[in-house]
């Protein structure tokens, strides 16, 4: 069977990792990546002779408005235009800045019959389905356009969907302790302040779009750190049914994309996961799984409360790869689709 | 009627503010403050000729082990020993480092019949009652030893007690987003990390000690900031009775020690309160009220969720002054006791 | 003699403190303050019944474009328009956002014959003289428009001018470790990063404008803190003449606006000064003096190296008040002008 | 020729990277690593089936006092004791906590004739020579014990030695803007503060030990960041000889372990290097070179001033590998020794 041909639009924080994720799939081919300027990330790629993850060469295409001379000045080889890339792919993973994806769809994807997967920055209306690999894989089957949940929502839904399938969930109330910037960002920092967002947080609203039978609300607070969000979740069983600490723990431990950890093992906070990913020797130090602290699990009456860690740079990659599988219809069920993604990304190996 | 004679043991972050708070009470006399070393705070006092809040002179007494020469080297006048201070006060506000208060009780307070109020660092057993001015004032009446709730618990209980008295509260689940250090601290910082505590947080446990009819649990996360904690609270009405957003808001707005604010007024986060206190021209820029964001209030089914700001340095001062009133029995009810404290501290003026 | 009538345009971080500074001068009258919107700072003023420093009422005037209803909604009384304020003052302290000061000059100051003092955000060309109270007071005498040096330059020049007058200085090379935001800022933070500016830093260039006989250069690095800059200075004597550590220390200790401190006293870093100002009970916790660490003083061959602390919010206030004195020509010499300012601001009391 | 047998004592931040560095040398064999407890770093290694850099298996040995059962509980295979490791190596890279290296020397290295290289935490007296690969390689030839310079000193000396060999350097004055913690540290943070050290900084003193003909002094300030130090250096030519900006730049550009970068390329600060290393796909995201900002280079009279970036986790690895080469005497000159290290670590490839 021929490989699925995939392109990546936008080689930023998410785009780089999508390219890496595709390069690691045995049944996909990374045709190319597209960007506007010779950023540090592209300079780093050139320093490595354009070889990215898994020994794959990343070919660079230029989006409209890009200055070819600027790429030349940095010795970055250019393979063609974004339009040319569109002609040669089955699916485009669009991680352009918010709003650009919608224009790409209008200008190119519809024209060339390219399926596309958009990230959280686009409006929901750009896509046929707002997608999560574990929660609604089957709704994405055979569609043309999917939109992925954002980083916090992706990780959050892993746990809520996990509880929901085991026990039934009626309601969740979340507190998002959000990192304000990624490592290397200088333009959106916060210094010695916790900043409030108007409630309810969009992540709670998004959860309800994906899981309409659950009532969700929440509060988001920005914090001056870069290594991952922490979310506390209070989940209530459907119709008030009790979920015990032991039951929840057992369910979480079975999920391939949830790492259950303990403070006394050394996982003291969000920075521990960042360090652990680097110590694993993973490319960019990335981890695809979310963390869940066993020692945060407490019962509140019939409800269950717990805290999770969201590695914001990499957490959406597996679900985006799931989305490619759903769009192309190669795997017909969530079990098969996510298992294939997990296999190629090495997810779940920590369980052994 | 003669004034209540009050001493303060330990002139650290809390002790300084207790001294200021006592100096502002028209019916109390600050007999003196006691400390071990000529800290920056004492050097600052000396630079102002030992004049503290409200034009009151602060007399310095030395605790056991203090080096008198070190005080002399900094030109800080010494009025006597801690034991001498004990002989001259009705009540000692003990804000010594954790554990020292218990020793002071054994060595001095019991010996000289001095009533005492301990801060959160001491064990509960040191006191007759674990005290909160609004939640259990009457239990403190006429006792000898009270222990105050810590900063987060003090502020949290203001809101839970407020809802409980209006609607009845059955259960609360909290997420504490904790500042790790005070401004000027160098020894307990955190850099680019969110650090987890084992759940349930002690604040939830402490709340249940003060309000035993409420079931409480929670998760605490340390964040690298200095200007106040933020707590999100999910409160459930007793027996599942619904509390609406409008009802909760109306109740909070009536409470003198809760400032209801909005993001669009400029209260973007914890640092806004810190700035506001400085702009008020308050001594040390302190604010005694907690903040509560109107735009954080959301309903979760029958439950109500909201976020509050805790000014860690100053929030316990009013409840400690309440405790003096309870111990001495001058005001017999929570309404009278807290009103008198509020009057002298200027609390509630913002409501006008 | 009648008091100098002073207005303040812009009630932001600097404007508030200029208003306070003027209110403390026995020979000046704060006619009013002008702003565009009912900011938190003005809401705080209203909460205190419009009473600012020294018991003075601050009257609020509205600049062009201000929405009167917004002020009304916050119960902030409005005394008139900015134009009306201009008609009633001798000198305007213009701390408007950068560029607005030049327009104010064109629209109002020239029209009404109002002298004005601009802050660092305006271009040098807006003023007759780029001014520093200690370095070139006499050049400001009788002028119409002065521009103040920015916070770092103001503090830096205090030390370089001090050495220059004692020993002669030929050259300085500085490293500015800059705070990125003020307490309460959310819009210009930096998280877990040190950010470079292109060298030479503008502060070195500005120093040469004020002290043209000194050669200056330097590098500026932004750091994620809010409580004051630290600058290291390497100063070379004129023609290579040696300045010893002891000589430099003695000179610094005589300067009223330089606090010589030591780490072992408790001045561990920039946050210690912030805490100290609060402990002094100063309004907003402000300190007007810069700090200079005695234990940072080292010799580098014939050169002298030292580190200073710049309290960015308040450091320019005394030199701005000096500027009023120079403009009005009441005190004819730097010694008299700065001494009068110091007296009213309580500067130098720490020396006693 | 048989490979040099190398062990690593202490698998912490430095030890892990030393192990990786050795594993990448074609002429060295990593016999094993030794540690006390099954840290997160060892748990990460186990998750990768004990395979570290370059496909090499890392065998774990237990130091005295280690709890074998704790390793077993984490499924980490143990190859033997530290003493057994000592018997099987030619050189031990000792990155134990400060002071432990000296005991290891006394207890094991001397006993088994193992050469050893100590990190900056040990006293200078533990070693025959205080070593830097570029500055004094030849002094290390054939010795038994070397001590490496600490991270800041290592990077600093690269630049000062570079200038010294080209132009002669007489004097340097440095300002170290130091990160306080590594990513993943929770125990030594700093929050919203810049903390002073007593001058002169030990790095200046250490530089003089390695380069006794240079006079050095400096001031160190701790800052709340984790991704690398920034040092500003003012270097004076020998006997006051002028070093121009262009000359200095040309010299730095030729040095394999110095990356000359510009802000307008995207290297905005220290975090840019951290991001760049991750984008390169380097193991742990590490970079061995220091950064030097071309746009920080300025002349101060005859002196030259510039700013460098020190990647604290990895910068000492190349010089430590150089030290192995010097100790074993395989390469007899600094040019040969450092070139061999550079070849295996991929250093200097960015120059192409």
Q: Is the pLDDT of residue C226 over 90?
A: yes
Q: Please state, in angstroms and rounded to a whole number, the distance separating the CA atoms of residues A310 and A299.
A: 22
pLDDT at res. D352: 54
The answer, for D271 touching chain B at a CB cutoff of 8 Å, is no
Nearest residue to C235 via CA among C195, C189, C266, C204: C204
Please identify every stretch of chain B with a pLDDT value under 70, giving residue numbers as ranges.
Answer: 1, 351-352
Q: What is the mean pLDDT of residues C187-197?
A: 94
Nearest residue to C104 via CA among C23, C242, C8: C8
Q: Please state, in angstroms and rounded to a whole number, the distance separating the CA atoms of residues A182 and A177.
A: 14
pLDDT at res. B350: 75
The answer, for C285 touching chain B at a CB cutoff of 8 Å, is yes
Nearest residue to B137 via CA among B207, B205, B203, B210: B210
Nearest residue to D192 via CA among B16, C275, C197: C275
DSSP B57: B
Looking up tokens 């707002």 gives A130
Among B19, B24, B184, pick the best mutation site for testing chain C contact (most C Cβ within 10 A): B184
In chain C, what residues touch A224 (CB-CB under 8 Å)? Answer: 189, 191-192, 224
Taking only the tens place, the pLDDT of each residue in D166-181 is 999 999 999 999 999 9
Taking only the tens place, the pLDDT of each residue in A254-275 is 999 999 999 999 999 999 999 9
Nearest residue to B262 via CA among C35, C42, A196, C183: A196
B267–chain D nearest CA distance, Å: 20
Q: What is the mean pLDDT of residues C229-233?
A: 98
CATH 3.40.50.1820 for domain B151-310: no
The answer, for A300 touching chain B at a CB cutoff of 8 Å, is yes
Q: Which two tokens stand for residue A119?
A: 């990230």
Q: Is the pLDDT of residue A73 over 70?
A: yes
pLDDT at res. D351: 67
The answer, for B232 touching chain A at a CB cutoff of 8 Å, is yes
In chain B, what residues touch A267 (CB-CB under 8 Å)? Answer: 196
Q: Which two tokens stand for residue D129?
A: 């020579």
Nearest residue to C296 via CA among A167, D199, B117: D199
pLDDT at res. B12: 96
> In the 3-class helix/strand/coil scheme, how is A79-111 assigned residue by residue?
CEEHHHHHHCCCEEEECCCCCHHHHHHHHHHHH
| Interface contact B171-A300, CB threshold 8 A | yes
User: Out of A186, A190, A226, whose CB is closest to C195?
Assistant: A186
Among A169, A170, A171, A173, pick the best mutation site for testing chain B contact (most B Cβ within 10 A): A173
Strands (E), chain D: 4-9, 28-35, 60-62, 80-81, 91-94, 115-118, 129-131, 145-148, 169-179, 195-196, 215-223, 229-237, 258-261, 290-293, 298-300, 303-310
CB A222 within 8 A of CB A197: yes
Taking only the tens place, the pLDDT of each residue in A113-146 is 999 999 988 999 999 999 999 999 999 999 999 9
Taking only the tens place, the pLDDT of each residue in D237-293 is 999 999 999 999 999 999 999 999 999 999 999 999 999 999 999 999 999 999 999
DSSP D221: E
Q: Name which of A149-158, B138-147, C79-88, D184-193 the model is least confident about.
A: D184-193
User: Out of B183, B184, B190, whose CB is closest to D189?
Assistant: B190
pLDDT at res. D38: 97
Among residues B151, B172, B317, B323, the one annotated as catalytic is: B151
| Interface contact C171-D225, CB threshold 8 A | no
Nearest residue to B277 via CA among B345, B204, B207: B345
CB C7 within 8 A of CB C86: yes
Cα–Cα separations (whole angstroms), residue C2 to B272, C29, C59? 39, 9, 20
For chain B, the domains span 4-149+316-351, 151-310
B17 to chain C: closest CA residue? C279
| Interface contact C269-D223, CB threshold 8 A | no
Q: For the domain bounded by B4-149+316-351, which CATH number is listed?
A: 3.40.50.720
Percent of chain D with pLDDT over 70: 99
Cα–Cα separations (whole angstroms), residue C96 to A2, B238, C36, C117, C119? 65, 54, 10, 11, 8
C4-148+316-351: CATH architecture: 3-Layer(aba) Sandwich (3.40)
In chain B, what residues touch D40 (CB-CB under 8 Å)? Answer: none
pLDDT at res. C349: 77
Complete edge-to-edge strand list for the sheet that includes strand A60-62: A80-81, A60-62, A28-35, A4-9, A91-94, A115-118, A145-148, A129-131
Other Cβ atoms less than 10 A from the Cβ of C124: the count is 12
pLDDT at res. D349: 77
Q: What are phi and psi of A216, to 5 degrees?
A: -135, 145
> In the 3-class helix/strand/coil scheme, how is chain A assigned residue by residue?
CCCEEEEEECCCHHHHHHHHHHHCCCCEEEEEEEECCCCHHHHHHHHCCCECHHHCECCEEECCCCCHHHHHHCCCCCCEEHHHHHHCCCEEEECCCCCHHHHHHHHHHHHHCCEEEECCCCCHHHCCEEECCCCCHHHHCCCCEEEECCHHHHHHHHHHHHHHHHHCEEEEEEEEEEECCCCCCCCCECCCCCEECCCCCHHHHHHHHHCCCCEEEEEEEEECCCCCEEEEEEEEEHHHCCCCHHHHHHHHHHCCCEEEECHHHCCCEHHHHHHHHHHCCCHHHCCCCEEEEHHHCEEECCEEEEEEEECCCCCHHHHHHHHHHHHHCCCCCHHHHHHHHHHHHCCCHHHC
Nearest residue to D284 via CA among D7, D8, D15, D10: D15
Q: Please state, in angstroms and rounded to a whole number, the distance separating the CA atoms of residues B320 and B301.
A: 36
Nearest residue to D180 via CA among D219, D120, D232, D227: D227
In chain B, what residues touch C16 (CB-CB under 8 Å)? Answer: 279
Taking only the tens place, the pLDDT of each residue in C234-254 is 999 999 999 999 999 999 999
Q: What is the mean pLDDT of residues A61-69?
A: 96
Percent of chain A with pLDDT over 70: 99
Q: What is the mean pLDDT of residues D67-92?
A: 97
User: Out of C183, C190, C225, whose CB is closest to A186?
Assistant: C190
Residues 187-216 of chain B whose Cβ lies under 8 A from any Cβ of chain D: 189-193, 195
Q: Please state, in angstroms and rounded to a whole number, the distance separating the CA atoms of residues C76 and B80.
A: 49
Q: Is the pLDDT of residue D313 over 80?
A: yes
Q: Please state, in angstroms and rounded to a whole number, the distance separating the CA atoms of residues A107 and A254.
A: 43
pLDDT at res. B150: 95
> Given this chain, do its domains C4-148+316-351 and C151-310 carry the same CATH topology?
no
Taking only the tens place, the pLDDT of each residue in C297-336 is 999 999 999 999 999 999 999 999 999 999 999 999 999 9
pLDDT at res. C120: 85
Strand partners of residue D179:
D223
């Amino acid at each position: 069977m021929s490989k699925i041909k995939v392109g990546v639009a936008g080689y930023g924080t998410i785009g780089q990792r999508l390219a890496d994720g595709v390069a690691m799939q045995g049944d996909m081919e990374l045709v190319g990546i597209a960007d506007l300027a010779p950023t540090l990330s592209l300079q780093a790629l050139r320093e490595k002779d354009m070889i990215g993850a898994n020994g794959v060469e990343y070919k660079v295409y230029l989006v409209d408005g890009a200055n070819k001379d600027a790429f030349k000045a940095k010795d970055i080889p250019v393979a063609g235009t974004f339009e040319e890339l569109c002609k040669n792919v089955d699916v485009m993973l669009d991680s352009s800045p918010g709003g650009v994806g919608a224009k790409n769809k209008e200008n190119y994807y519809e024209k060339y019959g390219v399926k596309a997967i958009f990230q959280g920055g686009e409006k929901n209306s750009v896509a046929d389905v707002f997608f999560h690999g574990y929660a609604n894989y089957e709704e994405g089957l055979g569609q043309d356009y999917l939109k992925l949940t954002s980083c916090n929502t992706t990780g959050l839904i892993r746990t809520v969907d996990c509880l929901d399938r085991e026990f039934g969930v009626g309601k969740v109330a979340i507190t998002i302790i959000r990192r304000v910037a990624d490592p290397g960002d200088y333009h959106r920092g916060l210094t010695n302040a916790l900043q409030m967002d108007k409630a309810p947080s969009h992540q709670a609203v998004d959860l309800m779009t994906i899981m309409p039978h659950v009532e969700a609300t929440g509060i988001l607070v920005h914090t001056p750190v870069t290594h991952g969000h922490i979310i506390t979740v209070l989940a209530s069983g459907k119709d008030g049914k009790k979920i015990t600490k032991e039951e929840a723990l057992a369910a979480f431990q079975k999920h391939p994309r949830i790492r259950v950890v303990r403070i006394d093992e050394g996982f003291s906070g969000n920075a521990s996961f960042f360090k652990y990913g680097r110590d694993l020797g993973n490319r960019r130090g990335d981890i695809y799984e979310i963390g869940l602290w066993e020692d945060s699990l407490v019962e509140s009456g019939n409800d269950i409360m717990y805290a999770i860690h969201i590695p914001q740079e990499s957490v959406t990659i597996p679900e985006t790869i799931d989305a490619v599988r759903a769009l192309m219809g190669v795997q017909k069920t969530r079990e098969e689709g996510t298992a294939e993604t997990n296999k190629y990304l090495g997810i779940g190996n920590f369980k052994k």
